[in-house]
Amino acid sequence: MFKAIGGYHSTAEFQHIGAGLLDDDNVSQPYLNAWQQVLATIGNQYDFDRVQEKLSQLCEDICPEKVEIIFGNWQDFSLAVT
């Protein structure tokens, strides 16, 4: 997954989509579809803002409740690869 973006995209929405893909044997279709849309959004050139906008929209569609950060206290978006 990280290979597609060349590093980290440290947002709660990215973690949410990633967590939905962790079970190789039982990935739900909405998360698989979401990941395909993320890859299409990345295309040939990763752009943080463009990808984040897509992730936010996808998370609203999949899980309209508040999506929270899963790992640690990652609120510093400077970790993102730009």
3-class secondary-structure state, position 12: helix
Q: Write the burial class of residue 69 (CB in 10 Å: 0-12 exposed, 13-18 middle, 19+ buried).
A: middle
pLDDT score of 19: 84
Report the number of distinct structural domains present in the chain. 1
Q: Do the domain assignments include residue 78?
A: no
> Is the pTM of the predicted complex or chain greater than 0.75?
no
Low-confidence ranges of the chain (pLDDT < 50): 74, 77-82
pLDDT, position 53: 95
Whether 79 is covered by a domain: the verdict is: no
In a domain, 4, yes or no: no
Q: What is the pLDDT of residue 54?
A: 95
pLDDT tens-digit readout, 58-76 = 988 887 765 555 555 545 5
| pLDDT confidence of residue 50 | 93
